Structure 1
Amino acid sequence: MFFIEIILLSVGLSMDSLAASVTTGSVIKEYKRRHIFRIASIMAMFQAGMTMIGYFAGIGFSNYICRFDHWIAFFLLLYIGGKMVYEELSANDEDENCKCNPLCNKTICCLAIATSIDALAVGISLALISTGIMIQALTIGLVTFAFSAFGVYFGGRFGRNINLRLELIGGIILILIGFKILSEHLFFQEKTVS
């Protein structure tokens, strides 16, 4: 696999992380630089880690994993996005401190898992074409870190400058990402190895 192919693969995989990071950045109440590093690091670790898990699992379990990976991503994103939409629509001033915390480790990890399910499938594909994994996983992690860092920064700046119901919009975006992943796997994508 050529390096340009690895870069393009990494960019493609990091698009969902970028969208989730923009959403996360936009709902952070008190935006700080350390939030960028923390969220981008978690997104990158899961993206690279899922690629490696997929690679090693792909050696023996590829057909089984490919059958349900999209459902995991769909339900995680549906849960997180639905929770954000529900909390925004049912929120009042007293509930403001109880809303979905985008900096909560559980929330970030769920988002990272949901947006890295495709990396699991890519890792399986890499195993099936008998290519190495270390350079690919490292590149995927670094590109995801860069895209996620930009996403949190952009979302944080956008969220502070425009007074919109960003948690509602963010929740809808996450739900749409979940439907996109599900529809791609069910209707538009034939799992082939090339």
Structure 2
Amino acid sequence: MSLLELFLIAVAVSMDAFAVAICKGLSMQKVTLKKALTVGLYFGIFQAGMPLIGYFLGVQFRDIITSIDHWFAFFLLAFIGVNMIKESRANEGCPSGDLGFKNMVILAFSTSIDALAVGITLAFLKVDVIHSVTFIGTVTFILSMVGVRIGNIFGVKYKSKAELVGGIVLVCIGLKILLEHTGVLDLYL
């Protein structure tokens, strides 16, 4: 997997966290570095931890389904992507500006479920998992901090667009994996 593909996956799976961070920023009277760091750390740590868990789950089954792993990766990424696209169309409210432990753990966990599935996919692609999850967590950390600031400045105007783009990117990456492993791309390259 190339660095660009890893970056696109990192951005795509961080879109839920980014959207929630925007909402957090919207609900804050004043954004401080401490508040932005808090949001970024929760989301970044969970977005790094969940694919790591998914990776180790996927490694357990890698030998069994290696011959169909490209189909598995495609359907998993497409499923996540389509769900993100659907969520982008839902008109949900924003969470409160509460940065308490319980509230943030619930939000960080719920926005990182997709990353668990991505971790399973990473196991089939045989990537350097530590590098990959660190990269995903770092990208999410940065985007979440930026999201808090954007939310405080612009509001929820871009929330659904971020989820829509993230969903489309995941579907496209899943399709690329499928086309590469089935040899379809070789016909055109």
**TM superposition score category, shorter chain reference:** 0.5 to 0.7
Contact 2:31 2:148 in 1 (8 A): no
Match of 1:42 in 2: 42
Q: Is the 8 A contact 1:50 1:117 kept in 2?
A: yes
1:51-93 alpha-carbon deviations (Å, 9 max, x no partner): 1011011223699xx7xx97xx99xx9xxx98x77xxxxxxxx
Q: How does 1:1-194 map to 2 (within 5 A)?
A: 1-60=1-60, 100-158=96-154
Count of aligned positions:
151
Contact 2:24 2:97 in 1 (8 A): no
Supply the AA of the counterpart residue of 1:44: G
How far apart are the structure 1 equivalents of 2:30 and 2:102?
Answer: 19
* Structure 2 SS opposite 1:102: coil
How far, CA to CA, are the matches of 2:126 and 2:145 in structure 1? 32
1:151 maps to a residue whose letter is G
Note the aligned Cα RMSD (angstroms). 3.5
- Offset, 1:30: 4.1
Q: Structure 2: which 5+ runs fail to align? A: 63-71, 182-189
SS of the equivalent of 1:53 reads: helix
* Kept after mapping to 1: 8 A contact 2:56/2:123: yes
- Calculate the TM-score normalised by the size of structure 1: 0.62
8 Å contact kept, 2:41–2:141: yes
- Runs of 5+ in structure 1 lacking a partner? 86-98, 160-165
Q: Which amino acid aligns with 1:4?
A: L
Quote the residue 1:163 is aligned against: none
- 1:131 is paired with a residue whose SS is coil
Q: Percent identity?
A: 32
Q: Residues 28 and 103 of structure 1 are in contact (CA less than 8 Å); yes or no, is this contact kept in structure 2? A: no
Q: Residue 12 of structure 1 aligns to a residue in which SS?
A: helix
Q: 1-side partners of 2:143 and 2:30: how far apart?
A: 21
Conserved 8 A contact 2:46-2:112: yes
How many Å separate the matches in 2 of 1:61 and 1:17?
29
Q: Distance in 1 between matches of 2:105 and 2:50?
A: 12
TM-score w.r.t. length of structure 2: 0.64
